[in-house]
Protein backbone atom coordinates (compact mmCIF):
# COMPACT_ATOMS: atom_id res chain seq x y z
CA UNK A 1 0.00 0.00 0.00
CA UNK A 2 1.39 3.45 -0.86
CA UNK A 3 2.39 5.44 2.21
CA UNK A 4 0.26 8.22 3.73
CA UNK A 5 2.33 10.96 2.08
CA UNK A 6 1.63 9.59 -1.41
CA UNK A 7 -2.07 9.19 -0.60
CA UNK A 8 -2.22 12.78 0.64
CA UNK A 9 -0.35 14.02 -2.44
CA UNK A 10 -2.78 12.46 -4.88
CA UNK A 11 -5.88 13.44 -2.90
CA UNK A 12 -4.70 17.06 -3.04
CA UNK A 13 -4.20 16.92 -6.82
CA UNK A 14 -7.86 16.37 -7.66
CA UNK A 15 -8.94 19.85 -8.94
CA UNK A 16 -5.86 20.24 -11.13
CA UNK A 17 -6.07 16.62 -12.26
CA UNK A 18 -9.34 17.57 -13.97
CA UNK A 19 -7.75 20.53 -15.78
CA UNK A 20 -4.98 18.32 -17.18
CA UNK A 21 -7.37 15.57 -18.31
CA UNK A 22 -8.34 16.97 -21.75
CA UNK A 23 -4.67 17.49 -22.61
CA UNK A 24 -3.02 14.35 -21.20
CA UNK A 25 -4.98 11.87 -19.10
CA UNK A 26 -7.97 11.85 -21.46
CA UNK A 27 -6.16 11.20 -24.78
CA UNK A 28 -3.88 8.68 -23.08
CA UNK A 29 -6.87 6.91 -21.52
CA UNK A 30 -8.72 6.71 -24.84
CA UNK A 31 -5.61 5.30 -26.52
CA UNK A 32 -5.05 2.80 -23.72
CA UNK A 33 -8.57 1.45 -24.15
CA UNK A 34 -8.31 1.35 -27.95
CA UNK A 35 -4.91 -0.34 -28.05
CA UNK A 36 -5.99 -2.74 -25.31
CA UNK A 37 -8.80 -3.77 -27.67
CA UNK A 38 -11.52 -3.24 -25.08
CA UNK A 39 -14.73 -4.39 -26.76
CA UNK A 40 -18.50 -4.43 -26.36
CA UNK A 41 -19.51 -6.61 -23.42
CA UNK A 42 -16.04 -6.80 -21.84
CA UNK A 43 -15.44 -6.84 -18.10
CA UNK A 44 -12.65 -4.34 -17.39
CA UNK A 45 -10.59 -3.70 -14.26
CA UNK A 46 -8.94 -0.27 -14.28
CA UNK A 47 -6.34 0.20 -11.54
CA UNK A 48 -4.63 3.40 -10.38
CA UNK A 49 -7.70 5.05 -11.92
CA UNK A 50 -7.22 8.63 -10.78
CA UNK A 51 -10.24 10.66 -11.89
CA UNK A 52 -11.23 7.90 -14.29
CA UNK A 53 -9.80 8.86 -17.68
CA UNK A 54 -9.28 5.28 -18.89
CA UNK A 55 -12.10 3.80 -16.77
CA UNK A 56 -14.71 6.13 -18.27
CA UNK A 57 -13.31 5.55 -21.76
CA UNK A 58 -13.68 1.80 -21.21
CA UNK A 59 -17.23 2.19 -19.88
CA UNK A 60 -18.24 4.03 -23.04
CA UNK A 61 -16.91 1.14 -25.15
CA UNK A 62 -18.16 -1.93 -23.25
CA UNK A 63 -21.78 -0.82 -23.36
CA UNK A 64 -24.65 -1.86 -21.08
CA UNK A 65 -23.72 -5.54 -21.22
CA UNK A 66 -20.15 -4.87 -20.13
CA UNK A 67 -18.83 -3.56 -16.85
CA UNK A 68 -15.87 -1.55 -15.54
CA UNK A 69 -14.44 -1.61 -12.02
CA UNK A 70 -12.18 1.37 -11.22
CA UNK A 71 -9.82 1.19 -8.24
CA UNK A 72 -7.55 3.83 -6.70
CA UNK A 73 -6.23 4.54 -3.21
CA UNK A 74 -7.00 8.28 -3.44
CA UNK A 75 -10.60 8.83 -2.31
CA UNK A 76 -10.77 12.42 -3.62
CA UNK A 77 -9.83 11.31 -7.13
CA UNK A 78 -12.36 8.46 -7.04
CA UNK A 79 -15.08 10.88 -5.92
CA UNK A 80 -14.37 13.05 -8.96
CA UNK A 81 -14.45 9.99 -11.20
CA UNK A 82 -17.86 9.05 -9.79
CA UNK A 83 -19.16 12.55 -10.50
CA UNK A 84 -17.87 12.42 -14.08
CA UNK A 85 -19.44 9.00 -14.66
CA UNK A 86 -22.79 10.16 -13.32
CA UNK A 87 -22.71 13.31 -15.44
CA UNK A 88 -21.94 11.20 -18.53
CA UNK A 89 -24.83 8.84 -17.81
CA UNK A 90 -22.56 5.84 -17.35
CA UNK A 91 -24.18 3.22 -15.14
CA UNK A 92 -21.94 0.29 -16.08
CA UNK A 93 -19.03 1.32 -13.85
CA UNK A 94 -18.34 1.09 -10.14
CA UNK A 95 -15.57 2.69 -8.10
CA UNK A 96 -13.53 1.40 -5.19
CA UNK A 97 -11.08 3.10 -2.85
CA UNK A 98 -8.64 0.26 -2.26
CA UNK A 99 -5.03 -0.88 -2.31
CA UNK A 100 -4.58 -2.39 -5.78
CA UNK A 101 -1.59 -4.42 -4.57
CA UNK A 102 -3.84 -6.34 -2.18
CA UNK A 103 -6.61 -7.30 -4.60
CA UNK A 104 -6.97 -11.09 -4.30
CA UNK A 105 -5.99 -13.11 -7.36
CA UNK A 106 -8.05 -16.00 -8.69
CA UNK A 107 -7.23 -18.90 -10.97
CA UNK A 108 -9.93 -18.14 -13.54
CA UNK A 109 -9.50 -14.39 -13.42
CA UNK A 110 -12.56 -12.20 -13.35
CA UNK A 111 -11.91 -9.69 -16.10
CA UNK A 112 -11.39 -9.65 -19.83
CA UNK A 113 -9.05 -6.65 -19.72
CA UNK A 114 -6.89 -4.96 -17.09
CA UNK A 115 -5.92 -1.33 -17.75
CA UNK A 116 -3.53 0.92 -15.85
CA UNK A 117 -2.52 4.42 -16.92
CA UNK A 118 0.52 6.11 -15.34
CA UNK A 119 0.33 4.02 -12.20
CA UNK A 120 2.54 0.94 -12.23
CA UNK A 121 5.71 2.87 -11.31
CA UNK A 122 4.05 4.00 -8.06
CA UNK A 123 3.27 0.45 -6.95
CA UNK A 124 5.53 -0.94 -4.23
CA UNK A 125 7.29 -4.00 -5.62
CA UNK A 126 6.22 -3.14 -9.17
CA UNK A 127 7.08 -6.55 -10.63
CA UNK A 128 5.26 -8.64 -8.02
CA UNK A 129 2.32 -6.23 -7.95
CA UNK A 130 1.73 -6.44 -11.70
CA UNK A 131 2.30 -10.19 -11.74
CA UNK A 132 -0.47 -10.53 -9.15
CA UNK A 133 -2.75 -8.13 -11.03
CA UNK A 134 -2.35 -10.28 -14.13
CA UNK A 135 -4.03 -13.15 -12.25
CA UNK A 136 -7.20 -11.04 -12.08
CA UNK A 137 -7.54 -11.38 -15.85
CA UNK A 138 -9.04 -14.52 -17.36
CA UNK A 139 -6.67 -16.84 -19.26
CA UNK A 140 -6.29 -15.28 -22.71
CA UNK A 141 -7.44 -11.91 -21.39
CA UNK A 142 -5.46 -8.73 -21.96
CA UNK A 143 -3.43 -6.26 -19.94
CA UNK A 144 -2.79 -2.70 -21.17
CA UNK A 145 -0.27 -0.44 -19.43
CA UNK A 146 0.39 3.25 -20.11
CA UNK A 147 3.62 4.94 -18.92
CA UNK A 148 5.76 7.94 -19.82
CA UNK A 149 7.87 7.38 -22.91
CA UNK A 150 11.64 7.85 -22.79
CA UNK A 151 12.36 11.59 -22.31
CA UNK A 152 8.75 12.67 -21.69
CA UNK A 153 8.59 15.59 -19.24
CA UNK A 154 12.40 15.57 -18.96
CA UNK A 155 13.07 19.30 -19.52
CA UNK A 156 9.80 20.21 -17.79
CA UNK A 157 10.55 18.33 -14.57
CA UNK A 158 14.19 19.43 -14.64
CA UNK A 159 13.10 23.08 -14.55
CA UNK A 160 10.58 22.35 -11.81
CA UNK A 161 12.89 20.48 -9.45
CA UNK A 162 15.61 23.09 -9.94
CA UNK A 163 13.22 25.75 -8.68
CA UNK A 164 11.99 23.60 -5.79
CA UNK A 165 15.61 23.10 -4.73
CA UNK A 166 16.29 26.85 -5.01
CA UNK A 167 13.40 27.69 -2.71
CA UNK A 168 14.15 24.89 -0.24
CA UNK A 169 17.89 25.72 -0.39
CA UNK A 170 18.75 22.08 -0.99
CA UNK A 171 20.63 20.33 -3.82
CA UNK A 172 18.32 19.36 -6.69
CA UNK A 173 17.17 15.77 -6.21
CA UNK A 174 18.52 13.30 -8.76
CA UNK A 175 16.03 12.61 -11.53
CA UNK A 176 15.08 9.09 -12.60
CA UNK A 177 17.72 9.19 -15.33
CA UNK A 178 20.57 10.49 -13.17
CA UNK A 179 23.58 8.14 -12.88
CA UNK A 180 23.21 5.88 -9.87
CA UNK A 181 24.99 2.93 -8.31
CA UNK A 182 21.65 1.54 -7.17
CA UNK A 183 18.89 -0.24 -9.07
CA UNK A 184 17.26 1.68 -11.92
CA UNK A 185 14.24 3.83 -11.13
CA UNK A 186 10.95 2.03 -11.98
CA UNK A 187 10.14 4.69 -14.60
CA UNK A 188 13.38 4.13 -16.50
CA UNK A 189 13.01 0.35 -16.41
CA UNK A 190 9.95 0.53 -18.68
CA UNK A 191 10.27 3.73 -20.72
CA UNK A 192 11.04 2.35 -24.20
CA UNK A 193 9.17 -0.11 -26.37
CA UNK A 194 11.87 -2.76 -26.00
CA UNK A 195 12.17 -2.37 -22.23
CA UNK A 196 8.45 -2.48 -21.48
CA UNK A 197 7.91 -5.50 -23.73
CA UNK A 198 10.71 -7.37 -21.96
CA UNK A 199 9.38 -6.31 -18.57
CA UNK A 200 5.77 -7.39 -19.22
CA UNK A 201 7.02 -10.73 -20.47
CA UNK A 202 9.12 -11.11 -17.31
CA UNK A 203 6.05 -10.68 -15.07
CA UNK A 204 4.08 -13.32 -16.97
CA UNK A 205 2.40 -11.70 -19.98
CA UNK A 206 2.62 -13.14 -23.49
CA UNK A 207 2.13 -11.76 -27.01
CA UNK A 208 3.33 -8.35 -25.80
CA UNK A 209 3.60 -5.35 -28.09
CA UNK A 210 4.15 -1.65 -27.48
CA UNK A 211 3.61 1.60 -29.32
CA UNK A 212 3.95 5.33 -28.65
CA UNK A 213 1.19 7.91 -28.48
CA UNK A 214 2.71 11.22 -29.59
CA UNK A 215 1.32 13.76 -27.16
CA UNK A 216 2.77 17.27 -27.17
CA UNK A 217 0.92 20.01 -25.29
CA UNK A 218 1.53 23.73 -25.97
CA UNK A 219 3.35 25.21 -23.02
CA UNK A 220 1.17 27.75 -21.26
CA UNK A 221 1.50 28.96 -17.69
CA UNK A 222 -1.91 27.56 -16.77
CA UNK A 223 -1.22 24.11 -18.16
CA UNK A 224 2.33 23.96 -16.81
CA UNK A 225 1.37 24.71 -13.23
CA UNK A 226 -1.72 22.49 -13.38
CA UNK A 227 0.50 19.66 -14.62
CA UNK A 228 2.58 20.10 -11.46
CA UNK A 229 -0.38 20.34 -9.09
CA UNK A 230 -2.37 17.63 -10.90
CA UNK A 231 0.30 14.92 -10.76
CA UNK A 232 2.75 13.30 -8.39
CA UNK A 233 5.08 16.27 -8.95
CA UNK A 234 3.01 18.08 -6.34
CA UNK A 235 4.64 15.99 -3.62
CA UNK A 236 7.84 18.04 -3.86
CA UNK A 237 5.93 21.06 -2.53
CA UNK A 238 5.10 19.33 0.76
CA UNK A 239 6.12 21.42 3.75
CA UNK A 240 6.28 24.71 1.85
CA UNK A 241 4.05 27.59 2.89
CA UNK A 242 1.93 29.59 0.44
CA UNK A 243 4.59 32.21 -0.24
CA UNK A 244 7.25 29.57 -0.89
CA UNK A 245 4.96 27.67 -3.27
CA UNK A 246 4.26 30.91 -5.13
CA UNK A 247 8.02 31.50 -5.34
CA UNK A 248 8.48 28.04 -6.89
CA UNK A 249 5.67 28.71 -9.35
CA UNK A 250 7.04 32.08 -10.44
CA UNK A 251 10.58 30.79 -10.88
CA UNK A 252 9.46 27.62 -12.63
CA UNK A 253 7.29 29.39 -15.20
CA UNK A 254 9.99 31.98 -15.82
CA UNK A 255 12.58 29.23 -16.31
CA UNK A 256 10.39 27.39 -18.83
CA UNK A 257 10.05 30.59 -20.85
CA UNK A 258 13.75 31.45 -20.62
CA UNK A 259 14.74 27.96 -21.73
CA UNK A 260 12.54 28.30 -24.81
CA UNK A 261 10.27 25.38 -23.96
CA UNK A 262 7.23 25.93 -26.18
CA UNK A 263 5.58 22.53 -25.71
CA UNK A 264 5.47 19.90 -22.99
CA UNK A 265 6.49 16.41 -24.08
CA UNK A 266 3.82 14.09 -22.69
CA UNK A 267 4.51 11.20 -25.09
CA UNK A 268 2.97 8.03 -23.72
CA UNK A 269 4.14 4.45 -24.15
CA UNK A 270 1.37 1.86 -24.25
CA UNK A 271 2.10 -1.84 -23.93
CA UNK A 272 -0.43 -4.61 -24.38
CA UNK A 273 -0.09 -8.28 -23.53
CA UNK A 274 -2.12 -11.33 -22.61
CA UNK A 275 -2.45 -13.65 -19.66
CA UNK A 276 -1.33 -17.04 -20.97
CA UNK A 277 -4.22 -19.23 -21.99
CA UNK A 278 -4.94 -22.14 -19.66
Between 252 and 76, whose confidence is greater?
A: 252
168-197 mean pLDDT: 79
67-93 mean pLDDT: 93
171-198 mean pLDDT: 78
- Cβ-proximal residues to 189 (8 Å cutoff; 6+ apart), any chain: 126, 195, 199
Q: Does residue 1 carry a pLDDT above 50?
A: no
DSSP, residue by residue, 164-175:
HHHHHTSPPPPP
pLDDT of residue 49: 94
Query: What whole-number percentage of the chain has pLDDT above 70?
Result: 89
Domains and CATH numbers, the chain: 4-274 (3.40.50.150)
Q: How confident is the model at residue 182 (pLDDT cuts 50, 70, 90)?
A: low
- Other C-beta atoms lying within 10 Å of the C-beta of residue 174: 11
Strand segments, DSSP code E, in 160-233 are 206-213, 216-218
Is the pTM here over 0.75, yes or no? yes
pLDDT of residue 11: 47
101-113 mean pLDDT: 76
pLDDT in tens, 206-231: 999 999 999 999 999 999 999 999 88
- Compute the mean pLDDT over every residue in the chain, rounded to the nearest whole number: 89
15-43 mean pLDDT: 93
Burial string for 191-225 (b: 16+ CB within 10 Å, else e) reads: bebebbbebbeebbbeebebeebebebebeeebbb
d(CA 208, CA 196): 9
Q: Does residue 103 carry a pLDDT above 90?
A: no
Q: How confident is the model at residue 7 (pLDDT cuts 50, 70, 90)?
A: very low
Q: Does residue 153 carry a pLDDT above 70?
A: yes
Amino acid sequence: MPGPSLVDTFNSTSPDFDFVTPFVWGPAGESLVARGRVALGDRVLDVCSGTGASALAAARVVGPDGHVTAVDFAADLIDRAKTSAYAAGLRNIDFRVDDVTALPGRDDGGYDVLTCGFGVFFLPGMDDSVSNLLTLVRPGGRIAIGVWHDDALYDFTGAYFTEVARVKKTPPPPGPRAPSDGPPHPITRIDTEEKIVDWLESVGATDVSASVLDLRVPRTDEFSWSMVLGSGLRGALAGLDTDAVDDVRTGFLRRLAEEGIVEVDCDTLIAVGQRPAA
